[in-house]
Amino acid sequence: METHNRYDLTDRVVLVTGASSGIGRTTAQAFVRNGAKVAFVARRGEQLQEAVDAVAKAVPESAENCLVLEADLGDREAAARAVTDTVAHFGRLDVLVHNAAAFVGGPIPDLEWDDWDRIRAINVDGWIALAKTAVPELEKTRGNIVVVGSVSGIAGDWGQAPYNSTKALVMNMVKSMALDHGPAGVRVNAVVPAMTRTPLTADMVDDPTVHAAAVNRVALRRIAEPEDIAPAVLWLASTDAAYVTGTFLNVDGGTMASTGQAHVE
């Protein structure tokens, strides 16, 4: 499935976190195909380079528009440096797409503090470090932020309290930041997927029992692919969404349309 060229994002400078795989990789590549200059940011440098090489092969003239930045977003300084390095290389920042996330599951009594420290560092502290550094740059360009959230940040899930709580924090900040920075022309929105086939969810998606239960919860009766999510990110980042801010755009196949009541077909 391809993410086709739909928007003229020529020379827009975009930073995408978690760009080595899954939604982040597909989204970063889609920005490149639509003319943007893109910083691919993630921990895995080799996979980042593979992502850049793949899109450069498809769009040869785009090679000089791609920047590989290896960074662990669990390190606040590294997260902030990803922004400053992007600006130093391209001269500006127009869009921040925050997609990177870590997962820790299980009930709270079973949660190890080391696991909590790690998920908080990546999902919360890294995000705040990115936002603190990016917003002043985005105010210069009247740019925008798109967060890849999750339905898990809106409602509860069995066995996912640690992960869900971090997603809820980030998504609530989308609303508050939209208010704080709207007067400066900075828009802040979130795309909200349900279960999507990525390396992070591979164990769940590949489990027949979990897969069947997940599909049954989705009105469209299939698990999302990264190519389903990327176009929504591009739309929110584009001038077509110039009057959209503080919004959660559900791209969940109808998951949140349900009250959660039992349904038997």
Q: Which residues pair with 95 in a beta bridge?
A: 14, 144
Burial class from Cβ neighbours inside 10 Å (0-12, 13-18, 19+) for residue 74 reads: buried
Angle at Cα 22 formed by Cα 207 and Cα 106, nearest 5°?
50
Q: What is the DSSP letter of 246?
A: S
Q: Which residues in the chain show pLDDT less than 70?
A: 1-5, 264-265
Per-residue confidence (pLDDT) for residue 23, from 0 to 100: 96
Per-residue confidence (pLDDT) for residue 197, from 0 to 100: 80
Rounded-to-integer distance, Cα 235 and Cα 8, Å: 11
Rounded-to-integer distance, Cα 42 and Cα 120, Å: 17
Q: Which residues pair with 96 in a beta bridge?
A: 15, 145
For residue 160, what are the contacts with CB-CB under 8 A and spacing of at least 6? 105, 152
Per-residue confidence (pLDDT) for residue 40, from 0 to 100: 98
Rounded-to-integer distance, Cα 146 and Cα 94, Å: 11
For residue 21, what are the contacts with CB-CB under 8 A and spacing of at least 6? 42, 44, 47, 51, 198, 199
From the list 21, 27, 118, 22, the residue with the least C-alpha distance to 73 is 118
Answer whether 0.85 is exceeded by the pTM: yes
Rounded-to-integer distance, Cα 214 and Cα 222, Å: 8
Q: Where are the beta strands (DSSP E) in the chain?
A: 13-17, 37-42, 66-70, 95-98, 144-148, 187-193, 248-251
Per-residue confidence (pLDDT) for residue 5, from 0 to 100: 65
* Catalytic annotation, residues: 163
The second-level CATH assignment, the architecture, of 13-254 is: 3-Layer(aba) Sandwich (3.40)
